[in-house]
Amino acid sequence: MLTLSKKILVAIDGSPQSDKAAEEAIRLAAQSGTKLRSQVFAVLVLPSLKPPSFTDFFPSKPPTEEPDWQEKRDRLFYVVEKSAGEAGVTFESLVLYGDPAEELIHFAKEKGCDVIVIGSSGKGKVKRTVLGSVSTKVALQAQCSVYIVR
């Protein structure tokens, strides 16, 4: 593997597969060494909020504005923060809204990422066929390399 600086996007969702993906993304970034620092983006994609309708007297707030958001955020990004701290890798954590696959692909294209690291879905064959899989959609549609971690 070449040890050049890379832009690495890791998808975070709080699942065990996402935690493995975060550890792997940090490991990849750490391989570039101290001279050629890789840039890691840890991205959590939350579902889009429905626009308030006429009947909504109190529209729902985005999850990032809820009182317990910081605690949830800390839990979701814990593994990537811990792994990055131990490896001496800097990273940027972001929260986006929308369809996870679309947002990850768009963000990777926008930032010029070299690789997307994502956990496998862990869904059964029937659920994956009916609902689809974020990792499958990303692998098929992304313009950069996709590393699916199991």
Q: Give 91's DSSP letter.
A: E
Instruction: Decide if pLDDT at 79 tops 90.
Output: yes
Cβ neighbourhood burial of 9 (10 Å; 0-12, 13-18, 19+): buried
Tell me the per-residue pLDDT of 113-149, one tens digit each, with 9 for 90 and over.
999 999 987 555 555 454 468 998 999 999 999 999 9
Q: Which domains are seen in the chain, by residue range?
A: 7-50+62-149 (3.40.50.620)
Mean pLDDT of the chain: 84
Q: Are strands 39-46 and 91-97 parallel, antiparallel or unpaired?
A: parallel
What per-residue confidence (pLDDT) applies to 47?
84
**Exposed, middle or buried: residue 108 (CB in 10 Å: 0-12, 13-18, 19+)?**
buried
- The 10s digit of each residue's pLDDT in 88-120 is 998 999 999 999 999 999 999 999 999 999 998
pLDDT digit string (tens) for 42-67? 999 998 766 656 556 666 677 777 78
Per-residue pLDDT band for 1 (boundaries 50, 70, 90) equals very low
pLDDT of residue 65: 73
81: amino acid identity, one letter: E
